[in-house]
A = this chain, B = another copy of it.
Amino acid sequence: MDLHILDHKLRVTSISKTGLEQYTHPLIKLIFLRNRTRCKFFSLTETPENYTVVLDEEGFKELQPSEHLQVEGSTWLPLNVVSNGNASSSSQAVGVTKIAKSVIAPLAEQHVREKDLSVVVETLVEEFNIFREEGGESVPVHIPHATVHPVLIPENQFCVMSLDPDTLPAIATTLIDVLFYSNSPKEGANADQDMECIKFFSFSLIDGYVSLVMDTEAQRQFPADLLFTSSSGELWRMVRIGGQPLGFDECGIVAQISQPLADSDISAYYISTFSFDHALVPEEDIVSVTEMLQSQRKDISS
């Protein structure tokens, strides 16, 4: 199994809730009109705070600067995990493979923090051959010293889904409704830290593959026959990481959550946004994940 760091430059941006309207035109183009753009990597995630838009430089050109658009200074690299048949034979590898399958692959699609890359490399270096696409150089490894961040576990159940990109037009009006018009004043009150349910919706269109993450309430608005779940009807719960916006400098946030999950053989689907990180874990594991996170926090504070 090889870990490729693609030579694909991504920008991480945030659009304010009130500014979304004025970005409707470029966003609809990037989501629905593939023949009008050369953007190959696009991801839009709504959280209670803002809309995180991660996209390649072709897509980034479409977003006009404004007071509503925040752009993170760095460019980011997507990872891609490619199986080459040389599976590790050690039983220890299960956890690592689990990370690769359940964390790295989603991260590759969901833009891991570049800094977190070193952590991942540290963890995986014995099991994987690691290449940077441009020259075959290995990445220097820094051992991170991460703060343990508070976590929030909202009540809603989430689905992770995919869609045949050719059927994207068939859900266009529903998707536009959910993405651009769901912030009625009533729902706006959700932007509260201690909410029971969280407003979270993620759409990504990467190299022609569509992924959607939404809660079951949003899911009911879509035609059931067009969206596919990875395994039938699997439901996920969310662990949202960070009491304060996390910023972009800190290392090891992903590993802090993903390492103990991998050790416990629990799948995770990880989505970073501009302000916070989000790990989705299977509904049936949420109790043990909660206990694990609580004991992790107790160990640190004691």
Contact = CB atoms under 8 A, between A and B. Distances in A.
Interface stretch (A129-137, A155-163, A167-175): A167-175
A200 interface: no
A36 B180 CA distance: 12
A181 B35 CA distance: 11
A286 to B, nearest CB: 34
Contacts of A294: none
Nearest to A36: B181
A222 to B, nearest CB: 12
Contact of A28 (B20, B24, B170): B24
B25 A21 contact: yes
Nearest to A21: B25
A33 interface: yes
A276 interface: no
A148 to B, nearest CB: 41
Contacts of A21: 25
Interface of A is mostly: helix
Give chain A's interface residue range (CB within 8 Å of chain B).
20 to 34
Contact of A181 (B33, B170, B177, B180): B33
A95 to B, nearest CB: 43
A159 to B, nearest CB: 21
A169 to B, nearest CB: 4
Contacts of A180: 25, 28
A29 B24 CA distance: 11
Interface in A217-244: none
Interface in A170-198: 170, 172-174, 176-177, 180-181
Contacts of A22: 22, 25
A32 interface: yes
Contacts of A24: 24-25, 28
A21 B181 CA distance: 17
Contacts of A28: 24, 28, 176, 180
Please give me the 3 A-B residue pairs with the lowest Cβ-Cβ distance, nearest first.
A21-B25, A24-B25, A169-B173
B177 A36 contact: yes
29 contacts: A20-B25, A21-B25, A22-B22, A22-B25, A24-B24, A24-B25, A25-B180, A28-B28, A28-B176, A28-B180, A29-B181, A32-B173, A32-B176, A32-B177, A33-B173, A33-B176, A33-B177, A33-B181, A36-B177, A36-B181, A168-B173, A169-B170, A169-B172, A169-B173, A169-B174, A170-B170, A172-B172, A172-B173, A172-B176
